[in-house]
């Protein structure tokens, strides 16, 4: 057995869309983010960070508890709830490097702008958002952890542009960021009919890796990392695209998808997407 392991920390926060229609899902109006530590005998790589200052302080203590030297923080994509903790983590682990692909770096730059950090995230989580720090661009597609190779796989436009997954072949682990979701409503607000087909193709490609475990960027607590979540994510994207065609209004789109997926966490993500898609005929 390879002397390589992984552990995942989940933190729960309020969803971003909070004006949901009345319904039976009030107990699901939250979302969890995941951060994953991949570690060997001495060293470790952290995948993704969290949204708020307090959440990232919790992440720092959790990483320290594994008693490994943190060499890298790898960012799967550029959304603020995955990259805003970079500065705090680097301060706690000054010998580590925060790295990302060029596509992720481009999206991180957007999220670091005042209109996002203060005008969007800061409005929803007042006084809680760290000062953004950008990762450095990593031009290689391989990262070495002790004697093990970690592969950076670009997945194109999934829930945003420039997304990736991290593949650890020695333990058949995919750390999927927001390419794959685990019993949580997928973020569709940045998608179009064309990009949703691209997302499905990316999911099919991840599936061909034949992973044993898949860690989603947003995971329902208590669920395992069973790779069945890849198929579940494919089905969700297909159901959403079909609902777009069958609906005339945001509420109709929301209701159709909820009938297929009534107990996923964070229905606010679906409601936000429904409002965005139905206000944009090209989507």
Residue 182 has pLDDT above 60, yes or no: yes
Residue 2 has pLDDT above 70, yes or no: no
Residue-wise pLDDT for 233-276, tens only, equals 999 999 999 999 999 999 999 999 999 999 999 999 999 999 99
How many whole angstroms separate alpha carbon 80 and alpha carbon 130? 10
In a domain, 156, yes or no: yes
Residue-level pLDDT at 23 = 87
Q: Is residue 118 in a domain?
A: yes
Residue 39 burial by Cβ neighbours in a 10 Å radius (0-12, 13-18, 19+): buried
0.95 exceeded by the pTM? yes
Name the nearest CA neighbour of 185 among 276, 261, 80.
Answer: 261
Average pLDDT of span 171-198: 98
Query: What pLDDT does residue 1 have?
Result: 46
| CA nearest to 213, candidates 202, 228, 200, 232 | 228
Looking at residue 66, its pLDDT comes to 98
| CA distance linking residue 52 with residue 32, whole number of Å | 13
Q: CA-CA distance, 93 to 45, in Å (whole number)?
A: 12
Cα separation, 93 vs 269, in Å, equals: 33
In a domain, 205, yes or no: yes
Task: Report yes or no on 283 lying in a domain.
Answer: no
Tens digit of each residue's pLDDT (9 = 90 or more) over 105-116: 999 999 999 999
Please check whether residue 231 lies inside any domain of the structure.
yes
**Average pLDDT over all residues of the chain:** 97
Tens digits of residue pLDDT in 72-82 = 999 999 999 99
Q: Burial letters for 250-279: b for 16+ Cβ neighbours within 10 Å, e otherwise?
A: beebbbbbbeebeebbbbbbbbbbbbbbbe
pLDDT at 20: 95
Question: Using 50, 70 and 90 to split pLDDT, how confident is the model at 281?
Answer: low
Neighbours of 43 (CB within 10 A): 16
Q: How confident is the model at residue 150 (pLDDT cuts 50, 70, 90)?
A: very high
pLDDT of residue 282: 65
Residue 30 placed within a domain: yes
Query: Containing domain of residue 67, as a range?
Result: 5-278
Q: What is the pLDDT of residue 226?
A: 98
- Gap between the Cα atoms of 156 and 207, Å rounded: 16
In a domain, 270, yes or no: yes
Please state the domain count of the chain.
1
How far from 137 is each of 19, 27, 117, 140, CA to CA, in Å?
Answer: 37, 40, 21, 9
- Read off the pLDDT of each residue in 29-43 and give the average, rounded to a whole number: 98
CATH code for the domain of 239:
3.60.15.10
Q: Can you read off the two tokens belonging to residue 34? A: 């995941």
Distance between CA atoms of 97 and 262, rounded to whole angstroms? 41
Q: What is the pLDDT of residues 111-147, one digit of tens each?
A: 999 999 999 999 999 999 999 999 999 999 999 999 9
């Amino acid at each position: 057995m390879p002397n390589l392991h992984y552990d995942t920390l989940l933190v729960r926060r309020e969803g971003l869309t909070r004006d949901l229609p009345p319904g039976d899902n009030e107990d699901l109006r939250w979302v969890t983010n995941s951060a994953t530590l991949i570690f060997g005998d001495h060293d470790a790589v952290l995948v993704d960070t969290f949204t708020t200052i307090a959440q990232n302080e919790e992440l720092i203590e959790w990483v320290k508890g594994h008693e490994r030297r943190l060499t890298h923080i790898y960012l799967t994509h550029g959304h603020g709830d995955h990259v805003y903790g970079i500065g705090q983590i680097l301060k706690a682990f000054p010998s580590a490097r925060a790295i990302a692909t060029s596509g992720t770096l481009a999206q991180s730059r957007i999220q670091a702008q005042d209109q996002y950090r203060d005008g969007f995230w800061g409005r929803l989580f007042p006084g809680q958002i760290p000062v953004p720090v950008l990762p450095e661009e990593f031009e290689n597609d391989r990262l070495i952890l002790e004697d093990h190779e970690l592969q950076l796989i670009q997945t194109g436009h999934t829930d945003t542009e420039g997304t990736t997954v991290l593949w650890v072949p020695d333990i058949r682990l995919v750390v999927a960021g927001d390419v794959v979701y685990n019993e949580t409503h997928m973020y569709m607000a940045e998608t179009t009919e064309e990009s949703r087909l691209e997302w499905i193709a990316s999911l099919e490609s991840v599936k061909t890796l034949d992973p044993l475990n898949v860690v989603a960027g947003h995971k329902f607590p208590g669920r395992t990392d069973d790779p069945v979540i890849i198929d579940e994510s494919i089905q969700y994207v297909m159901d959403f695209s079909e609902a777009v065609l069958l609906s005339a209004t945001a509420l109709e789109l929301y209701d159709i998808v909820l009938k297929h997926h009534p107990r996923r966490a964070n229905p606010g993500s679906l409601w936000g997407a429904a409002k965005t898609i139905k206000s944009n005929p090209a989507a």
